[in-house]
Amino acid sequence: MSNDDARSYEGRCHCGAVRFRFRSEEITEARRCNCSICVRKGAVVSARYYQPHEFELVQGREALCTYRFGDEVVNHYFCKHCGIYPFHDGAGDYEGRFRVNLGCVDELDVLALPVKMIDGRSY
């Protein structure tokens, strides 16, 4: 992604305790995952992972709780006040890469985006 193609997006949990921003090319598609946690949380996530220099937690580190399961390769973050999942990041081989819950992104009509499936159940 070149800097000319990037724009800034901002997002938040439902109660606003957790706020984040990231730089990305225009978001034109989304992903859903069929792993056990993603099916249960029902999130529509970014089509790609964002690198640490593209993602910033602006507010609310103290409001986040983390859940890891199975092989513990993903840190799933939830706001401990409203329960919303705003983003996750990787551990191990995926360390430092972020994927965001597009439903938390301000000024983005997530329901209008085409969605492709990720086969997380097979990982």
DSSP-derived secondary structure for 25-46: S----EEEE-SHHHHHH---EE
Region of residue 117 (phi > 0: left; psi between -120 and 50: alpha; otherwise: beta): beta
Domain with 86 in it: what CATH number?
2.170.150.70
**Binning pLDDT at 50, 70 and 90, where does residue 121 land?**
confident
Supply the pLDDT for residue 3: 60
Rounded alpha-carbon distances, angstroms, from residue 12 to 16, 22, 92: 6, 12, 26
The mean predicted confidence, pLDDT, of the chain is: 93
Residue 8 main-chain phi, psi, to 5 deg: -95, 135
Rounded to whole angstroms, how far apart are CA atoms 39 and 34? 6
Task: Count helices and strands (H / E) in the chain.
Answer: 1, 10
Residue count of the chain, please give it. Answer: 123
Rounded to whole angstroms, how far apart are CA atoms 99 and 110? 15
> pLDDT tens digits for 1-58?
556 789 999 999 999 999 999 999 999 999 999 999 999 999 999 999 999 999 999 9
Domain interval for residue 40: 3-122
Structure tokens at 15: 């109660």
- Structural domain count, the chain: 1
